[in-house]
């Protein structure tokens, strides 16, 4: 997998508004927020997209989900937030380093566009 802008954020080669970091993941505010809370949770391991994750990544993927839940709670949106993961350019993925969007603070429609 080639370097992405997210691996540069992990390596502190470019700045981001980081809200959480631990051994396995990093979370930072999206530079183009689509809601009052719009935070990206990414694994430090460079997985291109969910379709490229392996059985060994099960605990890591669960950790991303639970971290996203904790971040939403810490930001005051613990009871109403939306998680989005785009997998593939055809559905809107633009950065090919797996990430969860954690969104909250406004109404959301369904189905998503």
Could you say which residues in the range 40-99 bind ligand AMP, by CB under 6 A?
40, 86, 92-95
Rounded least distance, CB 39 to ligand AMP, Å: 10
* In contact, 99 and 42? CB cutoff 8 Å: yes
Q: Which residues are part of the catalytic machinery? A: 99
CA dihedral 20, 21, 24, 29 (to 10 degrees): 50
Rounded least distance, CB 99 to ligand AMP, Å: 6
Cβ-based nearer residue to ligand AMP, 44 or 56: 44
Rounded least distance, CB 23 to ligand AMP, Å: 21
């Amino acid at each position: 997998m080639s370097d992405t802008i997210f691996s540069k954020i992990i390596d502190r080669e470019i700045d981001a508004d980081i809200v959480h970091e631990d051994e396995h993941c990093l979370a930072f505010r999206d530079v183009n927020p689509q809601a009052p809370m719009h935070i990206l949770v990414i694994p430090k391991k460079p997985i291109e997209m969910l379709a490229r994750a392996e059985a060994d990544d099960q605990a890591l993927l669960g950790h991303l989900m639970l971290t996203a839940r904790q971040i939403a709670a810490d930001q005051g949106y613990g009871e109403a937030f939306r998680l989005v993961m785009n997998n593939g350019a055809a559905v809107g993925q633009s950065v090919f380093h797996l990430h969860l969007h954690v969104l909250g603070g406004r109404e959301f429609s369904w189905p998503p566009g």
